[in-house]
């Protein structure tokens, strides 16, 4: 049990570092390689296409980072919880959360009681629950959008810079294994091999985040959490799907689609807490 928790704590540290590293690398590739090579002409001023693609990329990335910060800044723990349960060493829960009553869980990694706990997100280093579910969903949406947009521009860059044709669908499937072989033979540069590797990283992260987003929206609409599904506690939704979505996305849901802002309901709750 001790080694299991140690591995989880290590993952809790490595995952955010991986996310920020991938973010910095993606930003650098876009503005130092992709956009100047694909859209700019040597010696000419930045074109309208350059500015448009730069604006689209910044919009996607800033929203992903903004919602990432909001997910961490507004955690899902219960501020009024006075009794913290003690989990037995042989607690069988594979998600490392001890189930309490009334949709409350004690997370052994966060060491806090979480309201309506869905799961522990290692990329943010905290639990996802009722207070930060909306930010987590928007983080998944914009991270997926950023990765898939980067994938498209990465393919375009390889086509322009290295004359790699992607007309055959099998080209992308065989690109990584062939690049590995050619790299060790010295036929492919380190930069080209790194770009190919990043294409697969973006594809993997983009599809994973898109899957997470669809799963979370479906669970929210049903009024359920992943913890309940995992434990087999499939309760019937007490409210309509519209009410369940409104409870998570709040009254500023339209604005929240474009800007990572705090919900009105969360602001009122914070004001009450500080009164």
Q: Which residues are identified as catalytic?
A: 121
Sequence length of the chain is 275
Strand partners, 119: 128
Contact 127, 76 (CB under 8 A): yes
**Structure tokens that stand for 159 in this block:** 């086509």
The 10 Å CB-count burial string (b at 16+, else e) for 35-49 is beebbeeeeeeeeee
DSSP 63-115: HHHHHHHHHHHS--B-TT--------TT---TTSEEE-STTEEEETTTTEEEE
Contact 134, 118 (CB under 8 A): no
How many other C-beta atoms are found inside a 10 Å radius of the C-beta of residue 14?
12
Backbone angles phi, psi at 125, to 5 degrees: 75, 15
Question: What span, in angstroms and rounded, lies between the C-alpha atoms of 148 and 144?
Answer: 6
Distances (CA, A) of 92 to 87, 88, 98, 231: 10, 9, 9, 11
Contact 91, 98 (CB under 8 A): yes
How many other C-beta atoms are found inside a 10 Å radius of the C-beta of residue 148?
17
């Amino acid at each position: 049990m001790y080694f299991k928790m140690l591995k989880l704590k290590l993952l809790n540290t490595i995952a955010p570092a991986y996310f920020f590293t991938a973010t910095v690398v993606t930003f650098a590739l876009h503005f130092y390689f992709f956009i100047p090579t694909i859209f700019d002409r040597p010696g000419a001023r930045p074109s309208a296409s350059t500015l448009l693609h730069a604006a689209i990329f910044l919009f996607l990335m800033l929203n992903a980072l903004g919602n990432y910060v909001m997910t961490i800044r507004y955690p899902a723990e219960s501020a009024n919880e006075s009794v913290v349960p003690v989990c037995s060493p042989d607690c069988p829960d594979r998600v490392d959360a001890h189930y309490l009553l009334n949709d409350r869980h004690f997370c052994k990694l966060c060491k806090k009681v979480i309201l309506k706990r869905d799961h522990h997100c290692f990329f943010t280093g905290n639990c996802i629950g009722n207070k930060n579910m909306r930010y987590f969903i928007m983080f998944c949406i914009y991270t997926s959008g950023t990765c898939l947009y980067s994938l498209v521009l990465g393919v375009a860059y390889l086509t322009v810079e290295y004359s790699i044709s992607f007309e055959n669908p099998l080209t992308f499937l065989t690109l990584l294994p062939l690049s590995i072989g050619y790299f060790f033979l010295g036929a492919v540069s380190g930069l080209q091999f790194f770009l190919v590797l990043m294409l697969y990283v973006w594809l993997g992260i983009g599809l994973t985040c898109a899957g997470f987003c669809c799963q979370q929206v479906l669970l929210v609409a049903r009024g359920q959490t992943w913890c309940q599904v995992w434990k087999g506690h499939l309760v019937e939704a007490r409210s309509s799907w519209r009410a369940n979505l409104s409870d998570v996305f709040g009254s500023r849901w339209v604005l929240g689609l474009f800007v990572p802002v705090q919900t009105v309901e969360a602001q009122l709750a914070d004001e009450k807490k500080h009164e």
